[in-house]
Chains A and B, each alone.
Chain A
Amino acid sequence: MTQEPILKARGLVKRYGKVTALDQADFDLYPGEILAVIGDNGAGKSSLIKAISGAVIPDEGEITLEGKRIQFQSPLEARDAGIETVYQTLALSPALSITDNMFVGRELRKPGFMGKYLRMLDHKAMEAFAREKLNDLGLMTIQNINQAVETLSGGQRQGVAVARAAAFGSKVIILDEPTAALGVKESRKVLELIQDVRSRGIPIVLISHNMPHVFEVADRIHVHRLGSRLCTIRPGEYTMSDAVAFMTGAAEPPAEATAA
């Protein structure tokens, strides 16, 4: 790797009482790549992702974004710094419209008196922006931008959540189990969407248990085991069964993979 990682973590430690969830964990995400994070249940994947996305504060270690040291106190701060997380639950409000959901927390106000003093929202501008972003990602099978999110299919909802993450000039997008709740066709759409987002130059961290999906879209795979990074492998060089073997401790990873 000649490039510098856009997001880098070194020696992260997180303890919950006697349980050590993160034990000197390292993490590297390079510009423009899709990095999959895999690991058995309890390996500390979630703690790692939470530390990066600001949901937990690590006890030790440091995280840098574009070379600058960062210390998030909340997910909101991480988002403001450009790290967007699409949670497994999607964090969408079902009764609100697609537009309202995309702009939650960063609404646009009307110019002039109405916006400045009455704080009136600029619905037209927000709708146009939302439509453009969904169009960009090929999600315009949605006809009505003002329909409630609960009237969308699972894949469409995922699409709205990803579009929201990608729409606001974010530097890194973290996707937590994006295909776990979806059927075959919808998973395919979401995988295409992930690749589409990557082609726009936004690096993606993909957490998934679905090996075929991971091997299909990831550029590199970060294998997490017992609280730290065991190795990083390229999907072209190893099989799925190799990855599962490393992840579960059935096989030792080769030395060159652990060094990366």
Chain B
Amino acid sequence: MSEETVSRPKGQDFEASLERSDKRVASFEHNHRGVMDHIQKALHGNPTLVPVIVLVLSVVIFGVIAGGKFFSAFNLTLIMQQVSIIGLLAAAQSLIILTAGIDLSVAAIMVLMSVIMGNLAVSYGVPTFFALLIGFAGGGAAGFLNGLMVTRLKLPPFIVTLGTWNIFYALNLWLSGAQSIRSQDIDANAAALKFFGEAFKLGSARVTYGSLLMIVVFFALWFLLNKTAWGRHVYAIGDDKEAAELAGIRTDRTLVQVYMLAGLVCAIAAWSSVGRIGSISPQAFYEGNLQSITAVVIGGISLFGGRGSILGALFGALIVGVFQSGLKLAGVDVLWQVFAVGWLIILAVSIDQWIRKVSA
């Protein structure tokens, strides 16, 4: 029936010349791989290098400018203490941003849970242990609500959490009657709420349990994200949700779990915040969500999802703390701290964009 019946050639006629073709694959440029290419590739493999370098540099520079005052063990542990709450919120925020989302409600969840824990334990005489448990459950439930709306209603995370930010804030004002719970009342009725404000001495350094908590939470989440299948799925979803779905990940279920975990971390931050500020105020940490996003972005985690290490957010929070402390000790006006942080954000995102362009 055809002229092709006799023998089937291997490949097509026009491919015959392939035998003699140049077997190198796109080898131009290789000889000209410059220093910048190497840097770009190294950063692509390890995006947390940038915040680490910035942190070390800023510590060294402020150490030189502000001298011994900055470098004292007291000051360095004070910085840890100062960033401990924003650090925890940044940990929660990192989880969401790794899935290519954003959570504007982290600080609102935290304040709402601190109000719930405080009111139950101080005003209603619920044992502190149960007040804390209810607070943790509430944090998880708030995250569940966010996650449910993102996955079931298919709304963008920005919109969902913009909405719940306001909702949680309003609930918080309603439950607290816009009243703070005074430090003395907490001491008298539920001293354990302030546990993370306590500290132990290490030479002249004063390390609060809250600072340690932040570091423990970061390492636990790092383990979860990098050493378990669940963590790899979180990255895969942030990278390309559709591909992750086709590859067999139950993306919606995992996303809801991510939002719940972030809510739980916010509730842990709520407990720690009582120790940090001493009282419980419904007006506290109003800018906490934006500060957490700042720490995450400076920490080299991509806002487009799937890239960066959660430890970067820890370094990001510390960088902001080091800038604030260093500039203050150097006698610089507060407004320049804000100015510097603004440039850091833009620099960090520019570097992220540049890293993404890496090729093999």
Contacts and interface: CB of A to CB of B under 8 A. Distances in A.
Nearest to B238: A95
A75 B246 contact: yes
Nearest to A123: B227
Contacts of B21: 185
Contact of B243 (A93, A118, A215): A93
Contacts of B36: none
B236 to A, nearest CB: 4
A152 interface: yes
A76 interface: yes
The secondary-structure label for the interface of chain A is loop
A237 B1 contact: yes
A238 B249 CA distance: 43
A110 B250 CA distance: 22
A95 B45 CA distance: 10
B244 interface: yes
Contacts of A72: none
Contacts of A236: 4-5, 8
Interface in B339-360: 358-360
B102 to A, nearest CB: 18
Contacts of A237: 1-2, 5
Interface in B100-131: none
Contacts of B227: 118, 120-121
B11 interface: yes
Nearest to B41: A151
A156 to B, nearest CB: 9
Interface stretch (A4-12, A59-67, A83-91): A83-91
Interface stretch (A13-21, A39-47, A99-107, A220-228): A99-107
A76 B2 CA distance: 43
Interface residues of B, number: 41
B227 to A, nearest CB: 5
A93 B242 CA distance: 9
Contacts of A212: 12
A90 B242 CA distance: 10
B360 A91 contact: no
Given A151-B360, A237-B2, A242-B1, A107 B239 contact: no
Contacts of A90: 243
B174 interface: no
A232 to B, nearest CB: 15
Interface in A190-249: 191, 212, 215-216, 235-239, 242
A92 B243 contact: yes
A70 interface: no
A121 B12 contact: no
B223 interface: yes
A153 B12 contact: no
Interface string B1-36: 111110011111011001001000100000000000
A148 B21 CA distance: 28
Nearest to A241: B2
B334 interface: no
B357 to A, nearest CB: 10
B248 A76 contact: yes
A188 interface: yes
A121 B231 CA distance: 10
A119 interface: yes
Nearest to A236: B5
B232 A96 contact: yes
A239 B4 CA distance: 7
A79 B178 CA distance: 55
B242 A89 contact: yes
B92 to A, nearest CB: 21
A184 B2 CA distance: 26
Given A79-B248, A118-B223, A93 B235 contact: yes
Nearest to A102: B247
A121 B228 contact: yes
A119 B228 contact: yes
Contacts of A121: 227-229, 232
Contact of B240 (A76, A93, A106): A93
A72 B55 CA distance: 53
User: Which of B1, B235, B359 is packed against the most chain A CB atoms within 10 Å?
Assistant: B1
B288 interface: no
A138 interface: no
What 3 A-B pairs have minimum CB-CB distances, sorted nearest first?
A105-B248, A91-B246, A107-B229
8 contacts: A89-B243, A91-B243, A93-B243, A95-B307, A100-B235, A105-B229, A105-B247, A191-B11
Given A96-B235, A153-B360, 6 more contacts: A93-B236, A104-B232, A105-B229, A216-B10, A235-B8, A237-B1
